[in-house]
Amino acid sequence: MKRTVSVAPMMDCTDRHDRFFLRLLSKNVMLYSEMVATKSAIHGDRKKILAYSPEEKPLALQVGGSDKKELSEVAKIAEDMGYDEININLGCPSKKVQKNMFGACLMREPNLVSECIYEMINSCNIPVTAKTRIGFDDTEDFDYLNTFILKMKEAGCRTFILHARKAILKGLTPKQNLNIPKLNYEMVYKIKEENQDLEIIINGGISKIDEIKKHLNVCNGVMIGRSIYQNPYFLVDIEKEIFNVKNNPSREDVVKELLKYLEKEVKVGTKVNHIMRHTVGLYHGQIGSKNWKRYLSENMMARDSDFQKAKHIMSVVQNNEKVNQVNV
Ligand SMILES: Cc1cc2nc3c(=O)[nH]c(=O)nc-3n(C[C@H](O)[C@H](O)[C@H](O)COP(=O)(O)O)c2cc1C
């Protein structure tokens, strides 16, 4: 499994339509689902919650929970459904998630986490990985984090995604928790140096190719969230600069392919806006970005947007391609 670069799990963002779109831009990155609570995965409408297109692979399912039995059941479901990895969320600080005893508050419960991971590993043959913060509240301590990781290692986990900032469990909103606690990449580097046998993926605030290269000198991989969601074509730079891929799709190629997917999906009842909302940032930093966003918001963002409007989108795309070529 190649986790050199992955796109972070993001609720309300990395759903299956977004992942299909991102995969058109990059064949080499690893993709993650939004977090799915164990109970929803077990009792909910699996077709709606867990289904994906084969094109999205390699793909990991991220799960939230702290009940060993449920987590192991979901690990098996993930394997049966063809997911390539199951990842446990140990980093989300939201109140609702804490109330249900999953996410970042589990950093306080290393023994429980270790038992959960052990059960998950025993119930499936796909990799079980963990995504966590580097600390919580007043605890931002190398020994604590390292002991926590070693506990998970004892249970059989080999891959750790470390969001390089702590979580504040009381007093900050989830959004503030993504910005206010300071990034501490050194802590992640130290964990890697101390644990050469583990796969350590660094996450948090990474938005440039140079930064990716710098982190890859120390860590096994980088995970990127917001900078890719806001600027999805960044994935093409990653393909070029990190994976040395020469023939990458233009934005026009991507929209053409996405329209084929849109047409297919609309026929089975998917709403146009559920797919197109993820493409708002496609022209990020380009001439024509405003025209693109305006076209989307006027024609394709309403709940009842008509697929016929999508057909005209190519004229906006072709126009944008032209102006950007002139200005290269
Ligand atoms: C809108 C949004 C939703 C998120 N949802 C999840 C989630 O479901 N599971 C998770 O582990 N992290 C979630 N995160 C955190 C990201 O995975 C990532 O750790 C964080 O954004 C830091 O990376 P970045 O600076 O590259 O965005 C979310 C972040 C954002 C912005």
**Residues 224-234: tens digit of each pLDDT:** 999 999 999 99
Report the nearest-CA residue for atom 22 of ligand 1: 204
Report the nearest-CA residue for atom 28 of ligand 1: 10
Q: Best of 33, 34, 178 to mutate for ligand 1, by most ligand atoms within 8 A of CB?
A: 178
Q: Best of 3, 5, 6, 10 to mutate for ligand 1, by most ligand atoms within 8 A of CB?
A: 10
Residue 169 Cα, ligand 1 centroid: separation in angstroms?
16
Residue 11 Cα, ligand 1 centroid: separation in angstroms?
7
Task: State the 10-residue block means of pLDDT for the chain, 328 residues long.
Answer: 95 98 98 98 95 98 98 98 98 92 96 98 98 96 98 98 96 94 98 98 98 98 98 98 97 96 94 95 95 91 81 88 80
Q: Which residue has the tokens 């290692």?
A: 153
Q: Are 161 and 203 in contact (CB under 8 A)?
A: yes
CB atoms within 10 A of CB 284: 15
- Which ligand 1 atom lies nearest to the CA of residue 35? 8
What torsion do the CA atoms of 199, 203, 208, 213 make, to the nearest 10 degrees? -20
Write down the pLDDT at residue 312: 85
pLDDT digits (tens, 9 = 90+) for 241-295: 999 999 999 999 999 999 999 999 999 999 999 999 999 999 999 999 999 999 9
Q: Are 227 and 203 in contact (CB under 8 A)?
A: no
Write down the pLDDT at residue 328: 62
Instruction: Choose the catalytic residue: 13, 92, 105, 219.
Output: 92
pTM to 2 decimal places: 0.97
Report the nearest-CA residue for atom 7 of ligand 1: 10
Report the nearest-CA residue for atom 15 of ligand 1: 10
Residue 308 Cα, ligand 1 centroid: separation in angstroms?
34
- Ligand 1 pocket by Cβ (under 6 Å): 8-13, 34-35, 62, 89, 91-92, 131, 163, 178, 203-206, 224-227
Containing H/E element for 254?
Answer: helix 251-267
**Catalytic residue flag (residue 124):** no
Rounded CA separation 121/196 (Å): 21
Rounded CA separation 76/82 (Å): 10
